[in-house]
Amino acid sequence: MKPTPKPDLPPLLAFGAHPDDIEFGAGGVIAKETRAGRPVHFVVCSRGEAGTNGTPAVRTREAKTAAKLLGATIEFLELDGDAHLELKAAHALALAGIIRRVQPGIVLAPTTEPNQHPDHGRLGQLVRDAVRLARYGGLAKLKARPAHTIGQLFFYALSPGSVPAGQPPVVIDISAPGIVAAWTKAMEAHASQMQTRNYVELQLARARVLGLDAGVACAQALYPNDPLLFDSLAPLARGARRF
């Protein structure tokens, strides 16, 4: 996939705690956005070094391949290491610095819900802090770049257990031709992780169920950090047709 960036679409910046998080949690949405011409950049905050399968070198290579398949650029940020991520002001400032450099309109991060891996929820909290810090002009450690305010922070849920309780999602229809195929190839690039479980089929099944529930073939859910603001009712005319 070689998308043509559109200047009227501000970048999407996606954060993941591990080399496969972004693809499994929001890869269908990202494939749709890059095909529409939106620039997308991944920030991966470990090399997956604590995982049972796949060396850090292998997982880094897999992540680069997956990002390319989705039409995104990628960088790796060394924080505390896989399975050691802590909530630190220094980390939030580092993430805020990236936000100022990339100047995204939309930011994606794992939900802050506790789930099977503690790094996910902690990274979500750090990104939530970072998008606010990126706005503050008086922070000395960030003064190398101008303050930046994003349009919206959305969280993605890597598993059913990390879905925010009681919060209705924004449902993104990813049924357009080629989107699910591109997403599937990106997930399959993380071949080392398929030795543990068929995560590809797990995420595809979730997308099918959500899509069927919404009246489309496949969909992914995002959870907004702030209330969504619209200029009119026009963008709200299509609802998820639930049973």
* Sequence ranges of the domains in the chain: 12-226
Rounded Cα–Cα distance for residues 123 and 86 (Å): 9
Averaged pLDDT, 91-115: 96
| Per-residue confidence (pLDDT) for residue 52, from 0 to 100 | 84
Residue 21, token pair as written in the block: 């998080």
CA 14 to chain centre: 4
Q: At residue 181, does pLDDT exceed 60?
A: yes
Domain 12-226 has CATH 3.40.50.10320: yes
- Whole-structure pTM value: 0.95
**pLDDT tens for residues 45-96?**
999 888 888 899 999 999 999 999 999 999 999 999 999 999 999 999 999 9
Mean pLDDT of 35-47: 97
How far is it, in rounded angstroms, from Cα 146 to Cα 129? Answer: 17
Higher pLDDT, 48 or 205: 205
Mean pLDDT across 229-233: 94
Q: What is the pLDDT of residues 12-34, one digit of tens each?
A: 999 999 999 999 999 999 999 99
Residue 237 has pLDDT above 90, yes or no: no
Chain mean pLDDT for the chain: 94
- What pLDDT score was predicted for residue 4? 65
Q: How far apart are CA 167 and CA 165, in angstroms?
A: 6
